[in-house]
Amino acid sequence: MQVNEYFEGRVMSIGFENTEGRATSGIMQVGEYEFGTSETELMKVTSGSLEVRLPGESEFKTYASGTEFNVEANVKFQVKVKTPTAYLCFYGG
Amino acid sequence: MQVNEYFEGRVMSIGFENTEGRATSGIMQVGEYEFGTSETELMKVTSGSLEVRLPGESEFKTYASGTEFNVEANVKFQVKVKTPTAYLCFYGG
């Protein structure tokens, strides 16, 4: 399995693939991040909470544990993390 | 963050802690495993599926994505994994 590190190790993930698709399971530590997508992403928050500003939106929206959001391909989006948060990211769905 | 590897890298996890408690977010590849606990664990399956035989049970029970199970401290339990599976494990709850 591949372990990915971003933002000096403050975001880490493990890659996997199953019947739900290609995915990473990761943790974001407290911080503010900008991510770029190269394909569509379905982000599921599984513990903690993310404040997310998607392309074209003017304000951050909170996604709590148990919620999810979609991100288009080839865009950037901003995330504020106020508590360590676990997520699953499914690609290209 | 700490990355943990078990069973020659077929099970990997990343440690974190938030208001839900101390936890690891991990992936199990296809295989059969026996885990030991040193404290109570709450296991949440977040993608994929686990077949689990808990202490005192004679048969494996399937836990699908979105389900969870508790394990007592200081026991061993068996897991069969037929598709790569993401889980969260909360300790000492």
Query: For A27-63, what is each residue's pLDDT tens digit?
Result: 999 999 999 999 999 999 999 999 999 999 999 999 9
Query: In angstroms, what separates the C-alpha of B68 from chain A's closest C-alpha?
Result: 13
Q: In this structure, what CATH number is given to the domain that contains residue A35?
A: 2.60.120.10
Which own/partner contact pairs does A54-62 have at CB distance under 8 Å and 24+ positions apart? none
How far apart CA B10 and CA A90 sit, in angstroms, is 20
**ipTM score of complex:** 0.95
Residues of A in contact with B46 (CB under 8 A): 25, 44, 46, 88
DSSP letter, residue B8: G
Determine the pLDDT at residue B22: 97
Q: What percent of chain A has pLDDT over 90?
A: 98
| Nearest beta carbon to residue B84 from set A12, A18, A85 | A18
Mean pLDDT of B61-83: 98
Number of domains in chain B: 1
pLDDT at A25 over 90: yes
Name the residue range of residue A51's domain.
3-91
Query: Any idea of the CA torsion for B84, A12, B13, A24, to the nearest 10 degrees?
Result: -10
